[in-house]
Amino acid sequence: MPIVLKSPAEIERMAEAGALLTEVMDEIAAAVRPGVSTLELDRVAREGILERQAKPAFLGLYGFPATICASRNEVVVHGIPSAEPLRSGDVISIDIGLFYKGYAADMARTFAVGEVSAEAQRLISVTEESFWKGFEAARPGARLGDVSAAVQRHAEEAGFWVVREFVGHGIGREMHEDPQVPNFGRPGVGPKLRAGMTLAIEPMITLFAAPVVVLDDGWTASSGRGNLAAHYENTVAITESGPRLLTGRR
Ligand code: MG
């Protein structure tokens, strides 16, 4: 499919959707603590979205059964919320999307639950930093590979592994549009970036190299025992003056 360019007015709509999603993520962040279950976080998310006259985007998407993906420890993405309480030392990645006035927003964060290891904290920080490297590269006239390579370089220089099996994506009226946005690649290759493109840039980083395997539930994507994973995602618009953040904040 061709890449759908958005008008400045459409980007403003997407920024409204993104601002609401950021508020919901703040509410989730405030609820994360040892003892809370990811089902409870899912309830916070669903109520937060509905209160804002928005619509959960993941619930029912390809058959997904919840409002958030809640991916614990070695789970990279697509974890299904459960009644099991989080424990101090866990890392929990929350991915959430909504639709508002016909436009999608998509965002993920990894939270430390209670006290986590220094290595886990560093993984979370490097994953966020990798996003910002990709964000800065998302300028009109650059290539998509510049974004991918910037993410990859930062994660690998820190000694971590970039997940290959899942990638970011275009976003707009649909949650998933072209192009795919890998977190690995070569500078100077791929589609030329143009003002009006809107992308979900979402580094998924693990401690070490290992294949990511989908478990028997058909969703949970695991990098394997002991291989902690972190995820950091924002919806980003490419404008004439450079990248614009549509979810989250600096
Ligand atoms: Mg996404």
Average pLDDT over residues 46-61: 98
Cα 233 to ligand 1 centroid, rounded to whole Å = 7
1: pLDDT strictly greater than 90: no
Q: How far apart, in whole angstroms, are the C-alpha atoms of residue 235 and residue 15?
A: 9
Judge whether 250 lies within some domain. no
How remote is the CA of residue 116 from the centroid of ligand 1, in Å? 26
Tell me the pLDDT band of 71, cut-offs 50, 70 and 90.
very high
Token digits of residue 190: 């791929």
pLDDT of 190 reads 97
Determine the structural domain holding residue 51 and report its residue range: 8-245
Distance 203 CA to ligand 1 centre (A): 10
- For the chain, the average pLDDT equals 98
| Ligand 1 center from residue 185 Cα (angstroms) | 18
Tell me if the bond preceding 81 is cis, omega within 30° of 0: no
Q: If you measure from the C-alpha of residue 107 to the centroid of ligand 1, how many angstroms do you get, rounded to a whole number?
A: 7
Count of beta carbons in the 10 Å neighbourhood of residue 233: 25
Domain count, the chain: 1
Residue 132 inside a domain? The answer is: yes
> Which helix (H) or strand (E) is 124 found in, with range?
helix 118-137
Residue 1 lies in a domain: no
Q: How many CA atoms lie within 13 A of 225 on its CB side?
A: 0
pLDDT > 90: percent of the chain: 99
Query: In CATH, what number is assigned to the domain containing residue 33?
Result: 3.90.230.10
Asked if 182 contacts 168 with a C-beta cutoff of 8 angstroms, the reply is: yes
Taking residues 220-243, what's their average pLDDT? 98
Helix 8-31 vs helix 38-51: angle between axes, to the nearest 10 degrees? 140
138 within a domain of the structure (yes/no): yes
Checking if the pLDDT of 233 tops 90, the result is yes
Per residue in 95-139, pLDDT (tens digit) is 999 999 999 999 999 999 999 999 999 999 999 999 999 999 999
Q: pLDDT tens digit string along 147-182?
A: 999 999 999 999 999 999 999 999 999 999 999 999
